[in-house]
């Protein structure tokens, strides 16, 4: 007897996404017409623009949240009415690649798999070097991570609907603004006995254009600090994605290098140490450098690898602060994101 093909509900939380919908909805609606997915739900999170009206005119099923609550709350709302056995979460600034539904079904053919997520593609929309760096960095870590993941990513990821409901969906009480609610969900999926698969060919194109200020703010206040608090208070350190042992060693070398650069002001004679640390940085980050060179050329690889050391330092500093906060200041329950 042939197994019944599982049904898929696409869930797209949307806030002020009217300008994005003409790019992100057509591929999903094409999948709907071809029968690859069974419904496309756009959850209008009280947008002040015409997001909901445009999505409805284009052919999506539209829901409206009772109040603005962020993407986690919007996804939770959709899960209460979705008819699909699988919830495919797609952010409103991500263009899902064709074939995504097939990759989802292939992953869920293994009964113990409760979630699957993918990666950004190699051609993000933003052209400034920093924006390309941010999106390609995300791709680099997802392309090189283990297939059996310890976290989850909701930008382009899927979860079994009944399991999602069983474990309570996204924690929108702790994470009141968009942050690491998908990572935290991944921990609960694993703790409940579910397996999470990272499929590097399950792709989406990111349309977000990053600037240095919003990139640093997001890295520190929406990622590094809340993720560090979560790991310290609940889960412990993971050895996956950008928190693995190799990344911790690179962060330590990056810190020593920046300290040596500062010390050059007082003692120029230590320049051989600084030069040696710089060489070590490029050796340790060879795979990252080669990846960036492949997608942007030699100059792009050099500037992004050097900037990546600053990323290492402020991310490691955020973790160190959270250790101090937890063990010295006694703030053991500070998981809320400001």
Residue finishing a domain among 210, 238, 253: 210
Whether 169 and 222 share a structural domain: no
Distance CA 317, CA 315 (A): 5
Q: Please tell me whether residues 30 and 171 are part of one structural domain.
A: yes
Residue 120: beta bridge partners?
A: 204
2 found inside a domain: no
pLDDT (tens digit per residue) in 52-67: 999 999 999 999 999 9
Helices and strands (H, E) in the chain, number of each type? 13, 9
Do 32 and 137 lie in one domain? The reply is: yes
Phi, psi torsion values for 62, nearest 5 degrees: -115, 135
Write the burial class of residue 165 (CB in 10 Å: 0-12 exposed, 13-18 middle, 19+ buried): middle
Domain residues for 289? 211-338
76 and 129 belong to one structural domain: yes
224 in the same domain as 202 = no
- Asked whether residue 1 is domain-assigned, the answer is no
Is 235 in the same domain as 119? no
3 in a structural domain: no
| Residue 125 to residue 206: CA distance in whole angstroms | 6
Using CA atoms, how far apart are residues 318 and 227, in angstroms rounded to an integer? 10
Q: Are 119 and 259 found together in one domain?
A: no
Looking at residue 177, its pLDDT comes to 84
The pLDDT value given to residue 325: 87
Query: Is the same domain home to 217 and 284?
Result: yes
pLDDT of residue 2: 45
CA 128 to chain centre: 20
Q: Which of 57, 231, 163 is nearest to 239 (CA)?
A: 231
**Tens-digit pLDDT profile for residues 150-183:** 899 999 999 999 999 999 999 999 888 889 999 9
pLDDT recorded at residue 8? 98
Residue 160 is assigned to a structural domain of this protein = yes
Residues 202 and 307 in one domain: no
Q: Are 163 and 305 in a shared domain?
A: no
**Single residue among 210, 243, 265 that ends a domain in this structure:** 210
Read off the tokens for 145: 């991570």
Count of structural domains, the chain = 2
DSSP single-letter state for residue 233: I
The per-residue pLDDT for 245 is 73
Residues lower than pLDDT 50 in the chain: 1-2, 337-338
Burial profile 282-308: b = 16 or more Cβ within 10 angstroms, e = fewer: eebbeebbebbbebbeeebbeebbebb
Q: Which of 210, 227, 252 is the last residue of a domain?
A: 210
Q: Phi and psi for 28 in degrees, rounded to 5?
A: -70, -40
- Distance between CA atoms of 174 and 192, rounded to whole angstroms? 19
User: Residue 120 and residue 155: Cα distance in Å, rounded?
Assistant: 9
In sequence order, what are the beta bridge partners of 41? 11, 61
Q: Based on the domain organization, do 194 and 301 belong to the same domain?
A: no
Q: Which one-letter DSSP state was computed for residue 16? A: S
Note whether 152 and 27 are same-domain residues.
yes
């Amino acid at each position: 007897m042939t197994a019944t093909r599982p049904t898929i509900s696409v869930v797209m939380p949307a806030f002020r996404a009217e300008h994005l919908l003409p790019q992100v909805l057509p591929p999903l609606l094409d999948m709907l017409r071809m029968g690859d997915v069974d419904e496309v739900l756009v959850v209008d999170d009280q947008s002040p623009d015409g997001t909901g009206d445009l999505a409805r005119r284009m052919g999506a099923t539209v829901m409206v949240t009772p109040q603005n609550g962020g993407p986690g709350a919007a996804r939770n709302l959709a899960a209460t009415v979705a008819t699909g056995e699988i919830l495919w979460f797609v952010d409103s600034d991500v263009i899902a690649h064709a074939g995504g539904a097939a990759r989802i079904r292939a992953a869920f053919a293994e009964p113990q798999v409760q979630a699957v997520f993918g990666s950004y593609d190699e051609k993000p929309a933003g052209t400034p070097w920093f924006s390309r760096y941010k999106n390609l960095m995300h791709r680099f870590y997802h392309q090189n991570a283990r297939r059996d993941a310890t976290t989850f990513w909701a930008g382009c990821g899927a979860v079994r609907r009944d399991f999602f409901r069983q474990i309570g969906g996204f924690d929108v009480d702790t994470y009141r603004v968009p942050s690491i609610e998908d990572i935290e969900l991944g921990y609960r999926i694993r703790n409940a006995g579910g397996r999470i698969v990272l499929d590097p060919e399950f792709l989406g194109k990111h349309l977000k254009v990053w600037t240095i200020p919003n990139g640093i703010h997001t890295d520190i206040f929406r990622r590094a600090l809340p993720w560090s608090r979560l790991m310290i208070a609940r889960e412990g350190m993971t050895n996956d994605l950008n928190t693995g042992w190799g990344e911790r060693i690179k962060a330590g070398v990056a810190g020593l290098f920046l300290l040596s650069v500062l010390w050059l002001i007082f003692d120029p004679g230590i320049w051989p140490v600084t030069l040696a640390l710089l060489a070590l940085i490029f050796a340790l980050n060879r795979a990252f450098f080669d990846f960036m060179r492949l997608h942007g050329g030699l100059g792009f690889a050099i500037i992004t690898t050097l900037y990546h050391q600053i990323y290492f330092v402020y991310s490691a500093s955020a973790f160190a602060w959270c250790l101090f906060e937890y063990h010295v200041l006694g703030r053991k329950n500070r998981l809320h994101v400001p």
